Amino acid sequence: MPPPRPPRRALSPAGCPGRGRPRERPPGGRRSQRAPAGQQDMAARLATPTGRAHYRQRSALVEPGFAQIFQRFGRHLNYRGHNAVDAEIKLLGTVHNLNKLIKHTPKNRS
């Protein structure tokens, strides 16, 4: 037989340590909404007609490959950490490309 449980105490919001104190905000009210430098560079490139044309090609070249990899291997990776994830994604891409080569290579019929 398990030991008896102690009686439950009523919870009160007055016991909350942050209750009643205003939130501390950085000077100027809101945080800075400035985009990272790489994002600003990309936005500047996409602002030109040539940049928009190059980016439009991405949907035909890159996105189908990602969709096919996600469909075949799933969206979850088995490893954590930048180097491990990078290696796993490269391995999945290599397997994907090798499968495409094997399937589309004409077979000699004799």
Residue 20 located in a structural domain: no
Residue 19 located in a structural domain: no
Residues 19-72 have pLDDT tens digits of: 666 666 666 655 556 777 888 888 888 899 998 888 888 777 777 888 888 888
| Structural domain for 49, as ranges | 37-104
User: What's the whole-number average pLDDT of the chain?
Assistant: 80
Q: Are 77 and 85 in contact (CB under 8 A)?
A: yes
* pLDDT grade for 91, boundaries at 50, 70 and 90: very high
Q: How many domains in the chain?
A: 1
Residues in contact with 79: Cβ distance below 8 Å, sequence separation at least 6, in sequence order: 85, 87, 88
Instruction: Tell me the residue type at 12.
Output: S
CA distance 57 to 35: 25
Q: Give the Å distances, CA to CA, from 56 to 39, 40, 52, 66, 70.
A: 18, 19, 6, 16, 21
Residue 91 located in a structural domain: yes
Q: What is the pTM of this model?
A: 0.46
Give the number of residues written for the chain. 110
